[in-house]
Amino acid sequence: MTTLTATVGGVTYTLHDVSGSLQWVGEDGWGMAPVRRITDRGPLQHGDSDIDFRLEPRLATLKLLAPASTLAGHWNIRSMLLQIFRPSNTAIQLLWGLDNGAQRAIDVHYAGDLSFPSEGRLGYTQTAVVQLRAADPTFYDPALQNVIYGVGGGGGAWAIPWAIPWSIGAATVDQTRSIAYLGSWRTYPIIVITGPLNSAVVTNVTTGDKLDFTGYNIAALDTLTIDCRAGVKTVVDAAGVNKIDKLSDDSDLQTFSLEANPEAPGGVNSIHATGSAATSATEINLQYYTRYVGI
């Protein structure tokens, strides 16, 4: 059975319960993310040149059945719907549990349509359609992924849904690991480097993007957090002090990501890390959510 929940302000509401107060009965707009092509045309050119594309914000709808056996129940369930979807700057996380065992989440805000028209009412039961807007139109698996690296270059790498650091025991860090990224859309990771480590450089060899801190020393017990997510793009130390000026001018904070196939053939991203003056306390932790263009 496919499940659907909405979580807002730490409270989770079940939308798929066929015997409960809310029944999810339809939807539209949750497939492929909307796309805008970027084109160019010369003064004498027929047609145009296809240059690039951007994903557009997603507008989609849910159709819900709100059954009630009394007039009081009717007004109560309307009140609950208004509480779940009311306009707010706090995002609503919609989470689908798919029949193949996968989970897909997306963050949305209310965009319209929850007007409760009388023609959508039968007895005390109300049919409600709500339009939602996702500024980021991609879905994500809510299980946070962390890559584990063996000490001193040994061992393998895999992903688990809780924070485990990439631990390095040698005085000099010089390691490459291949991350098999299985999403259908790129993801922008968060990288936390725990010192001591001098002149850290993290490079996605597959894409050529790098984060280069040559000449900057991360002291023991201090951290450097590089947040590559769209709309964030920050570099801060353990005290929250901005350290973005420690990045080299040719670093790629804006574009550093794990790419999906075919940009990364087979979804394999080779991540290379270097640095000096490391100890057994040195840690590099690469965290990400696997993202998808639709469900």
Q: Among 70, 103, 137, where does a domain finish? A: 137
Based on the fold, state whether residues 40 and 59 are members of the same structural domain: yes
Based on the fold, state whether residues 197 and 107 are members of the same structural domain: no
Q: What span, in angstroms and rounded, lies between the C-alpha atoms of 22 and 125?
A: 10
Whether 198 and 218 have beta carbons less than 8 Å apart is answered as: yes
The segment with the largest mean pLDDT, out of 23-27, 272-276, 286-290, is 286-290
The pLDDT of residue 148: 56
Residue % of the chain over a pLDDT of 70: 91
Q: What span, in angstroms and rounded, lies between the C-alpha atoms of 153 and 24?
A: 50
pLDDT at 166 over 50: no
Q: What is the pTM of this model?
A: 0.86
The pLDDT of residue 154: 33
Q: Where in the sequence is the domain holding 208, given as residue range(s)? A: 145-292
Residue 278 burial by Cβ neighbours in a 10 Å radius (0-12, 13-18, 19+):
buried
Task: Give 174's contacts (C-beta < 8 A, 6+ positions apart).
Answer: 273, 274
Instruction: Quick: pLDDT tens for 111-154.
Output: 999 999 888 888 999 899 999 999 999 999 999 998 754 234 33
The segment with the largest mean pLDDT, out of 22-31, 63-72, 85-94, 271-280, is 85-94
Instruction: Quick: pLDDT tens for 11-60.
Output: 999 998 766 678 898 999 999 999 999 999 999 999 999 999 999 999 99
The pLDDT of residue 75: 92
Q: Among 95, 111, 137, where does a domain finish? A: 137
The pair phi, psi for residue 28, each rounded to 5°, is: -155, 140
In the chain, the number of structural domains is 2
Based on the fold, state whether residues 111 and 156 are members of the same structural domain: no
Torsion, Cα 59 62 63 69, to 10 degrees, reads: -140
Based on the fold, state whether residues 46 and 17 are members of the same structural domain: yes
Based on the fold, state whether residues 166 and 284 are members of the same structural domain: yes
**How open is the CA angle 58-64-68, to the nearest 5 degrees?**
160
pLDDT-wise least confident of 122-126, 153-157, 239-243, 282-286: 153-157
